[in-house]
A and B are shown apart, each in its own frame.
Chain A
């Protein structure tokens, strides 16, 4: 599925002293089967943008297109199933007595039969490596376990685009790695993923394209190599290192991912 934002604008609290222009004309495409990273400082409009992707916020200007169709004309429930949105700190919305029931909430809202609901719950929990949490209370889990349960709750809708708003914030390294592996797995399965993040290193690791937001506008968009080598001061550690080496050894190329960078460094050594 192709998700397109055209000149999207949004203003919080218009007409009051608290008015904030959060998006000032953002145009962006989420291509089918890609992982798109959205980065930018706090207040750059990342979360506001994420909430436009399933129309939890209605744009004050511009439009959102799903496979070329204006998203406003679509059934809301259908749109929210197709574009799954995981909020920042999604664990704050866990509510059911058990993890199993919490994850079952979304598929039940879709009106699926019990068999199918159970199957989806099992599948989503397995995808997040959280099967053993099924019968436990979501309030008795650790932070990382809660996060897994909450993300499983959105995954159970089988969205075609999954938008993750800072999914790894405050997580331990192991859970973080698992989540990044999940993102790549989803792309293999044909799901587009939008990853909103502050962590440039993880964005470099899993995304196909990166978009930098700044003060509600798109400052740059392109492959990680294009975007990060344009301004290596605002880039992941790998790019900061190679861009320094590049002055002496231009043949090192434009590696971004950790593995690529390591290979490039080895190649340099062998020469």
Chain B
């Protein structure tokens, strides 16, 4: 798997990468909630500028970051299209039979597009600047208070870590099996949907069998290394809340407050 997509960790050293993952998760949550409280385009633009500044600080190349957004462009385009076509607010700009384009629709479309893009960007920035393991550690800590009501915080975090860890592995495996079947004459591009679904059987069967085998092996490996759940378990990487983290959180809240007020 060589293509990069939404949610992949981008390993460079930057102040954003160095932040406490708990802070980054919290800040992202604040950001997302804030996005839905902001009701002016100016406010959104202000927040967007702040996010762009943050991306610059994170040392992720702009092109790479924009590529992260590609998977949602379709949804954005669809949203804009619906707004432009079906909104009847504001002055009429264009009339063509049944279709009418109003200034309000354009404004609304732009606003929603910006909101979706910001939503995805903030989540994308979180996963791009936080290693999966750190993300899971942070989440476990944040969920820890729920342990009192018997919520399995450690187990959830462990499952998340394992799932994230095995996405590239299974991707590689799928790639390998696809190639092996292609070498035996499998053609994945021809025929209608039904035929194409059938051509996937030679890939999906071994992939599933392999995933189960891996799960078995992983469980054995964990047991043989003495894993027995989260009780009394210490960490190699202790999370530390530093001054910079407090500052980052404060700035995030402040930026969103300004956005809401604008």
Interface, chain A (partner B; CB < 8 A):
12-13, 16-18, 51, 54, 56, 76-77, 80-81, 84-87, 90, 92-96, 105-106, 109-110, 139, 153-154, 157
Say yes or no for B11: interface residue by CB 8 A criterion.
yes
Measured between C-beta atoms, what is the minimum distance from B58 to chain A in Å? 14
Beyond A51-B179, A90-B180, A93-B180, whether A13 also contacts B2 by CB under 8 A is: yes
Give bound CA distance, A75 to B169, whole Å: 32
Interface residues of B in 167-218 (CB under 8 A from A): 173, 176-177, 179-187, 201-203, 205-206, 209-210
The chain A residue sitting closest to B4, CB to CB, is A16
Contact between chains at A56 and B179 (CB < 8 Å): yes
Q: Given A87-B176, A93-B177, is A18 in contact with B183 using a C-beta cutoff of 8 Å?
A: no
Q: Is the CB of A105 within 8 A of B184?
A: yes
Contact of B185 among A90, A95, A109, A139 (CB under 8 A): A109
Q: Determine whether the beta carbon of A92 is less than 8 Å from that of B2.
A: no
Distance in Å: Cβ of A148 to nearest Cβ of chain B? 16
Is B56's beta carbon under 8 Å from chain A? no
* Chain A residue, CB-CB nearest to B3: A13
Give the distance in Å from the alpha carbon of A146 to the alpha carbon of B179 in the complex: 18
Instruction: Sort A-B residue pairs by CB-CB distance and give the 8 closest, nearest first.
Output: A109-B185, A93-B180, A95-B205, A106-B184, A13-B2, A85-B183, A95-B202, A87-B180
Minimum distance in angstroms from A145 CB to a CB of chain B:
16
Chain B contact residues (Cβ within 8 angstroms of A): what range?
A: 20 to 34
Distance between Cα atoms of A153 and B206 in the complex (Å): 15
4 more CB-based (< 8 A) A-B contacts, given A93-B176, A93-B184, A110-B185: A16-B4, A80-B184, A92-B180, A95-B202
- A51 contacts which chain B residues (CB < 8 A)? 179
Chain A residues whose CB sits within 8 angstroms of the CB of B64 once the complex forms: 16
User: Contact between B182 and A157 (Cβ–Cβ < 8 Å)?
Assistant: no
Contact of B184 (CB < 8 Å), options: A12, A18, A76, A157:
A157
Cβ-closest chain B residue relative to A11 = B2
The reply to whether A80 and B185 form a contact with Cβ atoms under 8 Å apart is yes
| Chain A residues, Cβ within 8 Å of B250 | none
Contact between A93 and B209 (Cβ–Cβ < 8 Å)?
A: no
**Does B206 contact A87, Cβ atoms closer than 8 Å?**
no
Q: Which residues of B contact A87 (CB under 8 A)?
A: 176, 179-180, 183
Q: CA of A56 to CA of B176 in the docked complex: distance in angstroms?
A: 11
- Tell me the nearest residue of chain A to B189, going by C-beta: A76
B186 — nearest CB in chain A belongs to which residue? A109
A154 CA to B184 CA in the complex, in Å?
6
B206 touches A93 (CB 8 A): yes
Inter-chain CA distance A77–B182, complex, in Å, is 9
Is the Cβ of B206 less than 8 Å from the Cβ of A94?
yes
Query: Does B12 sit at the interface, judged by CB under 8 A?
Result: yes
Residue among B11, B173, B181 with most chain A CB within 10 A = B181
A154 to B179, CA, bound (A): 13
Q: Considering only CB atoms, which chain B residue lies closest to A90 in the complex? A: B180
Which residue of chain A has the shortest Cβ distance to B204 in the bound complex? Answer: A95
Q: Give Cα A110–Cα B183 distance, bound, in whole angstroms.
A: 12
The chain B residue sitting closest to A88, CB to CB, is B176
A87 to B173, CA, bound (A): 12
